[in-house]
Amino acid sequence: MLTHFMTALPAFFAYFGVAIALIAVFLLVYVNVTPYAEGALIRAGNVAAAISLSGSLFGFVLPVANAIAHSDTLADLAAWGGVAGIVQILAYLAVRFGFPQLNTDIPAGKVAPAIFLAVVSVSVGLINAACMSY
């Protein structure tokens, strides 16, 4: 058992490292697509910004976790992670299109639109994860 653990450990760190890199890239892209500064808003105590960004992050991580569980290679994981990121950005843009005041609602701390955006993000992430085929 210890031998199996020691041989699997490098793969664990490789997949974990790629997943963390994917999360960092996704967050960097996402916060640059939105017209408000989530980090500053969250540090200032804006609950709406925290809810919306958390939902988006969770919606992204769900398919990434599925890709980790089912991919054979790190390249496969990276490719599906890219798909997951694109889908989450599109989900945000769709909600923003349907609710144009979202750009001012989140910075204003309005929680209802933030919850809606978070639920759409998580829902799209679940569907995205289920649609990934290997």
Q: Identify the band that residue 134 occupies on the pLDDT scale cut at 50, 70 and 90.
A: low
Whether 6 shows a pLDDT value over 90: the answer reads no
| CA-based nearest residue to 40, from 104, 124, 103, 107 | 107
Chain centroid to Cα 33, Å, comes to 13
Q: Are 62 and 129 in contact (CB under 8 A)?
A: yes
Please state the φ and ψ torsions of residue 89, each to the nearest 5 degrees: -65, -40
Reading the block at residue 130, the tokens are: 């289920």
Q: Give the angle subtended at the CA of 28 by the CAs of 23 and 32, to the nearest 5°.
A: 145
Q: Give the angle subtended at the CA of 129 by the CAs of 128 and 133, to the nearest 5°.
A: 100
Reading the block at residue 83, the tokens are: 């798909």
Q: What is the pTM of this model?
A: 0.92
Reading the block at residue 81, the tokens are: 């992670």
Q: What is the residue whose two structure tokens read 């450990």?
A: 9
Lowest mean pLDDT among 21-30, 68-77, 125-134: 125-134
What average pLDDT score do residues 8-31 get? Answer: 96
- Looking at the chain, the whole-number percentage of residues with pLDDT higher than 70 is 99
Give 73's DSSP letter.
Answer: S
- Looking at the chain, the whole-number percentage of residues with pLDDT higher than 90 is 91
Give the separation between CA 52 and CA 3, rounded to whole angstroms: 43
